Amino acid sequence: MGAIEINWLKVNELNMKAVAKMFKRDGFSPPSPRCFGKLVRSFDLTLRLDETRIKAKKTKWRLALDRIMSLLF
C-alpha cells in the first residue's frame, strides 16, 4: 500500500486534525498571539464607538461647520 498524499496547502478538517495530532504528540503548543510584543486579546476587527465618543465627534464637526458657515454668510 502506498503513502497517503496530503496537500498541506489546503486548510480542511482532515489536515487540521493531522497537525493537531502531531502537535500533541510532540508536545508543541503555539505561543500566545502577540503584536509588537503586546498580547492580542481578540482578533475581532469590529469598530465600536460608545455613544459619548460619537456625540463628541458630531459636536466638534457641528461646531466647525457652524464656524465656517458664519464666516461665509
Three-state SS string across 1-68, please? CCCCCCCCCCCCHHHHHHHHHHHHHHCCCCCCCEECCEECCCCCCCCCCCHHHHHHHHHHHHHHHHHH
Say how many domains are in the chain.
Answer: 1
User: Does position 67 have pLDDT exceeding 80, yes or no?
Assistant: yes
Question: What pLDDT, in 10s, does the model give residues 16-57?
Answer: 999 999 999 999 988 888 989 999 888 887 776 666 666 666
What pTM was estimated for this model as a whole?
0.40
Average pLDDT over residues 4-23: 90
Residue 7 lies in a domain: no
All cell numbers assigned to 29? 503548543
**Per-residue confidence (pLDDT) for residue 41, from 0 to 100:** 86
Average pLDDT over residues 51-64: 73
Residue 62 lies in a domain: yes
Range of the domain at 26: 13-41+48-72
Position of cell 478538517? 13
Q: d(Cα 11, Cα 33) in Å, to the nearest integer?
A: 20
